[in-house]
Each structure stands twice: as structure tokens, then as C-alpha cells.
Amino acid sequence: MKTNSTGHQPGPVKNSHLTNDAPTSEAVESLSTVSLRCTECAALYPGIEGGASPRYRCDCGGVLDVEMQFNLPRTQTAPFDIYANFDVDSDLLPAAGAKLRQIFDERASTPPIWSTSADKLLLDHSGVWRYRELILPAPEQFIISRPEGNTILYPVGMENCGPGRVGHRQIGVYAGLERLFLKHEGENPTGSFKDRGMTVGVTMAQLLGARAVACASTGNTSASLASYAAQAGMRGIVFLPAGNVAGGKLAQTLAYGATTIQINGDFDDAMQLVERVCGELGIYLLNSLNPFRVEGQKAIGFEILQQLDWQAPDWLVLPAGNLGNTSAIGKAFRQAYELSLISHMPRFASIQAEGANPFYRSFKQGFASREHVQAHTVASAIKIGNPVSYTRARRVIEESDGIVEEVSDEEILAAKNIIDRSGIGCEPASAATVAGIRKLVERGIIKRDERVVGILTGNLLKDSLTGIPQGSDSVVVEANIDAVRKALLK
């Protein structure tokens, strides 16, 4: 299974620098409670199989979703460190939910001490692994974590904005909401929400004995994969649509040392190619097809709920491209509701760019057909014409009595200008959230007094050149006081 250096061969090429080793029995054992369910035909597969190649799709071609037997805390005994495996029994759920909340709050309150061998403590400080019972039952020594998460939930509504945030409050005024929070996922270590899925994806790669990991990406996933692969000592390989990636994201990916293959094609071409080449060469595939990345993205939802003291909002609004976040955060809220962590489900609003709106088109037909488009939008992170997580996301919109909305590039850039000038800032795709909220409030779908959480997905610095308004307030002057005075008082 190790090296095979001869050139031409039929069947999968093995390469010692790329191909996975077999997973250890410990790894296989640890994931015995994890299964993969086809989102199309409901077929069930093991989460990890010793000896076999990792599975990314059902035999029917459908996308897979992780199913887990939760290892819930025993509620009859007081100490936090005593657990028991028991099946989800509905009578026990309220008590188990209360206990889980207590465990998560206890971990979130761990003092920030980073001593020599404090790996367990570091995991409690991760905004993903803090919720590990609901993410992945990986043994600690396999986990690759920065840690990540712990992003700020900015209160920016007209009512819930404190006196020290008169600038931030302008976002609430623009959106027309009294109680609005923005969760800024651009504050993750590599500057986007992708780090939450990637810590879980690269941990799975570690469990599987991977030597190389690969993805196709509009940029943020590449940067995140490159960073986490480097931390784990794996080779990172990223496929980007040439000329369609924001400068900061490409530079990050190269700096972290990933092999960067720019495809003369669009994102959807790159997606197809990476899936095929990973299968051929035995490279672990970490694009959004990978079901374990979705499990990590769920943590955005759990962290929002914890920051709101487990009081679910009325609405959760987010940008929609490949639909991974809609799927993941929807799944998180559904599980939180099923486990009695919260008492009601929020409604979801997924916001697409008008030029990259296949999910919106399907929604307008009552999801009668799955649409594809040739994507065009200034918001490169959601410039996706054929979203991988369509079925998972559709379920979230349907179950939550949710909605899909579209906004124009002009509306996106106008909202970005408001977010930037409030002092918070974000990348263009993130601004679709606020543009969408404004539209839905104007249309009366979101009520002015409802409690709304919007997601900002990426850092301002990720794409700093897009959306700087024409005629921004910048002048070049000579180095003397008269020139400066004139520039200021003009």
C-alpha cells in the first residue's frame, strides 16, 4: 500500500507523497457510532472503513450526510466527567439538553491558560471542539485545532446596540431592525468561516492516515485547507478557478505552502476535476462534498446559541453559494432543538447574488427542479452555479419555514459600504446577508421587532480591493503644513 514508482499503470495511481495510509484500528473504532446517509436515496454507509478508500458519495451519486449516535451525558450523576452511552430517548432529552448546556458553558468558562501540555484545555477553547459531543467523537491526539471560532457576535440593531456603538448601529438602521446581531466569521484564524469545517476535515484526514488533502475553492476554503494541512504536516493541494479568486486569498494559500493549481475554467469545473483526481490518486478530498466539514460548520450555530444564552433567534440570515453553511447551521439548530438545547427553531433566510442564484430559482418553483446557472457576481465567494449541498439546504429551508432571497451586486456593495463604514467591515459575499435582511424587512417578511442573527462569512482583508467606493476620501499631498491644512479644510 506504500510506494509504487513505476510510471504507467492501469487503475488508481499510488504515490507515496499523496496516497493515504490505512487508518489505524483506534481511528476506526473511535468512529464506530458515525454513519454516512445518502441525502438522495437514504442508503447508509459506515463513517470510516479500514482498508477501503474514503467514501464521498453514495453509489447512486448522491451527497452524503453524517449521522451520529450522540454520546450524551449521564444526567443522573453530578460530575461532568462521567458519561454513559445511551440512545436518544425522548423522555431523557430535556435533562440531557440541560446537562449539555451546562458542559458547554463550563468549557466556555475555562480560564485562558495555555500551559505546556494543555491540549485538552486548548480543545475547550476551540469554538468547534467545545461542542465535540455533537461534532465528531475523534480521540484527542488526532485533533488538529488552532483553536478556531470564538468570533464576536456584534449587537448592531437600533435597540440592542450599546452607547459605545453608534457607528455599528447604522447597520441596524439600514436593515430596519431593532434587535440585530452579526456573527463575524471573518474573525477566524485564516479570516473566514471555513476554519470551522476545516479543523474537522483535517482531523478526519489525520484519522484516515492521509498524506495529502485537496479541495476546489473560490478562495476561502483554499486558504483554510492550506493552513490546517500545514499545521498537520500534510501536503495541501488546491484547485482554483483562474482569475476568479480574490488577491488576499490566493496570496494566503501560496504563503501557507499549498500546491496551487489554477484551472482555466470556473469553480464548477474545478469541483469536478478535484473529485476525479482525488479518487484516482488516493488524495483525501476536502471540498464541500466532504460530509465531515459540514459537521464542523455546525459549530457556528452552536456558538451563536451559546452566545445568546441558548435563546434561539427568530431568524438566521446568511449568504448562499455552495449551500454548505445553510446546510450546516440548519442541521445544528435542528439537532439543538431535538436535544432540547433550545425550545424553538429559527426561520432561515439564504441570500444569493442575482447572477449566481440557482437555489433562489429552485425555491421560486417550490423546489420543483434543481437549477444550474453560469455564475456572475462581484461576490466571488458565492460565485457558484451548481451548489453541492442543494438537497441538504433545501431540507433546512423547508423544515424551518424559511426563504431564499436574491440581491443585486449593487445592493451587495451598498450593504458592504454600510458594514465597512460602521467600523466592522467584511468581504463582499458577507454583505449579501445585510442586503438580504434589508430587503426582507422592507417586504414585511422579517418583522421589525424580530430577533435576527446574520452571518458575515469573511474578513474585509480577504478581498480588500472590491467595493472601495469611487471617489473615496483619499488625496496625495506634498509634505508641508499648508498642503495638509488645505486638504483637511477643503
Residues 198-227 interacting with a copy of itself (rule: CB under 8 A)? 206, 226-227
CA distance 232 to 15: 19
Q: What is the DSSP letter of 128?
A: T
> Looking at beta carbons only, is 46 or 155 nearer to a copy of itself?
155
Q: Measured from the CB of residue 291, what is the shortest distance to a copy of itself in angstroms?
A: 22
From the list 455, 350, 456, the residue with the least C-alpha distance to 397 is: 350
Q: What is the DSSP string of 440-466?
A: HHHTTSS-TTSEEEEEE-B-GGGGTTT
Determine the straight-line distance between the first and last CA of the chain, rounded to whole angstroms: 73
From the list 372, 382, 359, the residue with the least C-alpha distance to 246 is: 382
Cell of 283: 488524495
> Looking at beta carbons only, is 273 or 445 nearer to a copy of itself?
273
B/e letters for 374-401, b = 16+ CB within 10 Å, e = fewer, are ebebbbbbbbbbbbbbbbbbbbbbeebe
The H or E element that residue 404 is part of is strand 403-407
Residues 160-199 that bind a copy of itself (CB under 8 A): 160, 162-168, 179, 181, 187, 189-191
Q: Which amino acid is at 421?
A: R
**Interface segment toward a copy of itself; rule CB under 8 A; list 264-272, 293-301, 353-361, 381-389:** 264-272
176: left (phi over 0), alpha (psi -120 to 50) or beta: left
| Binding flag, residue 158, a copy of itself (CB under 8 A) | no
CA distance 435 to 382: 14
Reduced 3-state DSSP string for 60-84: CCCEEEEEECCCCECCCCCCCCCEC
Q: Measured from the CB of residue 459, what is the shortest distance to a copy of itself in angstroms?
A: 7
| Binding flag, residue 315, a copy of itself (CB under 8 A) | no
Q: Measured from the CB of residue 155, what is the shortest distance to a copy of itself in angstroms?
A: 6
| Binding flag, residue 35, a copy of itself (CB under 8 A) | no
Residues 413-432 that bind a copy of itself (CB under 8 A): 420-425
> Looking at beta carbons only, is 227 or 362 nearer to a copy of itself?
227
**Interface segment toward a copy of itself; rule CB under 8 A; list 49-57, 68-76, 265-273, 334-342:** 265-273
| Binding flag, residue 357, a copy of itself (CB under 8 A) | no
Q: Measured from the CB of residue 311, what is the shortest distance to a copy of itself in angstroms?
A: 8
Residues 383-402 that bind a copy of itself (CB under 8 A): none
From the list 186, 205, 183, the residue with the least C-alpha distance to 194 is: 186
Q: What is the DSSP string of 196-216?
A: HHHHHHHHHHHHTT-SEEEEE
> Looking at beta carbons only, is 154 or 193 nearer to a copy of itself?
154
| Binding flag, residue 62, a copy of itself (CB under 8 A) | no
Q: Measured from the CB of residue 273, what is the shortest distance to a copy of itself in angstroms?
A: 5
> Looking at beta carbons only, is 13 or 373 nearer to a copy of itself?
13
| Binding flag, residue 291, a copy of itself (CB under 8 A) | no
Residues 112-131 that bind a copy of itself (CB under 8 A): 112-119, 122
**Interface segment toward a copy of itself; rule CB under 8 A; list 51-59, 80-88, 400-408, 466-474:** 466-474
- CA 174 to chain centroid: 26
- Bridge partners, residue 486, by sequence: none
Q: Measured from the CB of residue 88, what is the shortest distance to a copy of itself in angstroms?
A: 26
> Looking at beta carbons only, is 193 or 359 nearer to a copy of itself?
193
Among 19, 290, 306, 386, binds a copy of itself (CB under 8 A): 306
Q: Measured from the CB of residue 48, what is the shortest distance to a copy of itself in angstroms?
A: 19
Q: Measured from the CB of residue 6, what is the shortest distance to a copy of itself in angstroms?
A: 13
From the list 344, 255, 318, 328, the residue with the least C-alpha distance to 295 is: 328
Query: Cell 498537520 maps to which residue?
Result: 232
Q: Measured from the CB of residue 221, what is the shortest distance to a copy of itself in angstroms?
A: 15
Strand pairing category for 44-46 and 284-285: unpaired
CA distance 123 to 271: 32
Q: Measured from the CB of residue 224, what is the shortest distance to a copy of itself in angstroms?
A: 10
Residues 126-155 that bind a copy of itself (CB under 8 A): 141-147, 150, 152-155
Cell of 28: 476506526
Q: Measured from the CB of residue 349, what is the shortest distance to a copy of itself in angstroms?
A: 21
- Contact criterion met (CB below 8 Å) for 260 and 238: yes
Residues 69-108 that bind a copy of itself (CB under 8 A): 105, 108
Count of residues of this chain found to bind a copy of itself when the rule CB under 8 A is applied: 113
Binding mask 7-26 for a copy of itself (x = CB under 8 A): ------x-x--x--------
From the list 361, 316, 351, the residue with the least C-alpha distance to 436 is: 351
From the list 337, 302, 330, the residue with the least C-alpha distance to 151 is: 302
**Interface segment toward a copy of itself; rule CB under 8 A; list 40-48, 369-377, 379-387, 462-470:** 462-470
| Binding flag, residue 471, a copy of itself (CB under 8 A) | no
